[in-house]
Amino acid sequence: MRVWIVFLLCLAGHAMAAPADEEPIVEEPGTEEPVVEETEVGANPVQVEIGEFDEAIDIVEDVVTENACLNYHCKKGKVCEVDESNTPMCVCQDPSTCPPVEGDFEHVCGTDNKTYESSCHFFATKCTLEGTKKGHKLHLDYIGSCKLIEPCLDSELTEFPLRMRDWLKNVLVTLYERDEDNNLLTEKQKLRVKKIYENEKRLQAGDHSLDLLAHDFEKNYNMYIFPVHWQFGQLDQHPVDGYLTHTELAPLRAPLIPMEHCTTRFFEQCDADADKYIALEEWAACFGLKDQDVDKDLII
C-alpha cells in the first residue's frame, strides 16, 4: 500500500495522462525578437508540460524572428523544424537524437513486447510508423524493461478493485494532510476529502486483508465515492470529454503493471462495450459504485 501511495503522489496535481496532439500555435513573423526557449525532447510520457506564451516587444522594425519554432508545439515523438520559407512544421524525431539514458530505470516496454531505451526512443519510433497498422497498434505498455507478466486469474481480478479503491482513498487523505498551499488539491476537492479525513470510522492505511477491505467498502461505502470520481477526473485531460482513452490511462496503468499484473485485464474489462473508450459510468461500475451514485458534478 505504501508503494501505491508514493506512486500516485508523483502524479497528483498534474493531468496524469499522456497528452494528445496539440494544435500548433505560430507567432506571426515580423519585427519581434522573442526570448528563445529550448524545446524539451524526450519528456516523460506522463509528465509533459505546456509552456506559457510571452508577448514579444517591438524593438527595431528591421529585426526578423530568428526562431520560428518558438512556442510551436509538437506531440511526443516529433520535433519542430522550419522549411526554406522559415515556416515551422512537426517532423518525426530521430531516435538517435534522444538524450542518453542514465540507467535501466529509464527503459519502457511497448505493446510489441520490445524494450526501448527511454520514452523518447519509444515515441520517436512510434512516429516513424504513423499511418501503418503496426503504428496504430503500438502503445506504451508499462514502465521498465519488458518481462514476463503472469496471467491474471479470474479470482485475482476480483481482488484488484478492493486494493485500488483503498489506495485511492488513502492517497487523497495523504494529499490533504500535505496540502498547505493548495497545490495538490483544489478547495472543492479539499472539502470533499476533509469529510473522509475526519471520519472516525475511516480505515487507516495499511496492508489489510482482502476480507477487511471488502467489509470496509460495504460498511463505509460513501467514503469511496469521491476518490473513484477524483481519479477519473485526473486522467480525463486530453481532451476533457468524459471518456478515458488508452493514452489517458497510460499515466496510471504504465507504472502499475509491474506491481499489479491484473492491471491490463482490469482496464480492458472496464470498457464494457469494447468501443476503446471508458465512460464515467463504466469506470464507476468497475470499482463497484452504484448507478445512482455516479455524478459528473463530482469531477472537480
Chain Cα centroid distance, residue 188? 22
**Each residue's pLDDT tens digit, 111-144:** 999 999 999 999 999 999 999 999 888 999 999 9
Residues near 275 by beta carbon (within 8 Å), at least 6 away in sequence: none
Chain Cα centroid distance, residue 82? 30
Helix (H) or strand (E) holding 88: strand 88-92
Give yes or no for a contact between 27 and 71, defined as CB atoms under 8 angstroms apart: yes
Q: Is 91 helix (H, G, I), strand (E, B) or coil?
A: strand
Give yes or no for a contact between 181 and 143, defined as CB atoms under 8 angstroms apart: no
Phi, psi of 28 (to 5 degrees): -65, 125
Please give the pLDDT value at position 5.
52
C-alpha cell at 288: 463497484
Whole-number Å distance between alpha carbons of 186 and 230: 11
Whole-number Å distance between alpha carbons of 186 and 298: 13
For residues 194-204, give the mean pLDDT: 95
More confident site: 92 or 44:
92
C-alpha cell at 257: 503493471
pTM tops 0.75: no
Ranges assigned E (strand) in 29-104: 78-82, 88-92
For residues 146-161, give the mean pLDDT: 93
Whole-number Å distance between alpha carbons of 72 and 80: 7
Say how many C-beta atoms besides its own lie within 10 A of residue 99's C-beta. Answer: 14
Whole-number Å distance between alpha carbons of 111 and 127: 15
DSSP string, 214-259: HHHHHHTGGGGHHHHHHHHHHH--TT-SSEE-HHHHHHHHHHHTTT
**Each residue's pLDDT tens digit, 44-80:** 434 433 333 333 334 444 445 578 898 899 988 999 9
Burial degree of 239 (CB within 10 A; 0-12, 13-18, 19+): exposed
**Each residue's pLDDT tens digit, 6-51:** 455 555 444 334 444 444 444 444 444 444 444 443 434 344 333 3
Mean pLDDT of the chain: 82
Task: Delineate the domains of the chain, giving CATH numbers in brackets.
Answer: 78-143 (3.30.60.30), 154-298 (1.10.238.10)
Going by C-alpha positions, the residue among 298, 299, 273, 297 that lies closest to residue 286 is: 273
Whole-number Å distance between alpha carbons of 191 and 215: 26
Q: Is 217 helix (H, G, I), strand (E, B) or coil?
A: helix
Under the banding of pLDDT at 50, 70 and 90, the label for residue 219 is very high
Q: Is 68 helix (H, G, I), strand (E, B) or coil?
A: coil
Give yes or no for a contact between 269 and 157, defined as CB atoms under 8 angstroms apart: yes
Give yes or no for a contact between 5 and 205, defined as CB atoms under 8 angstroms apart: yes
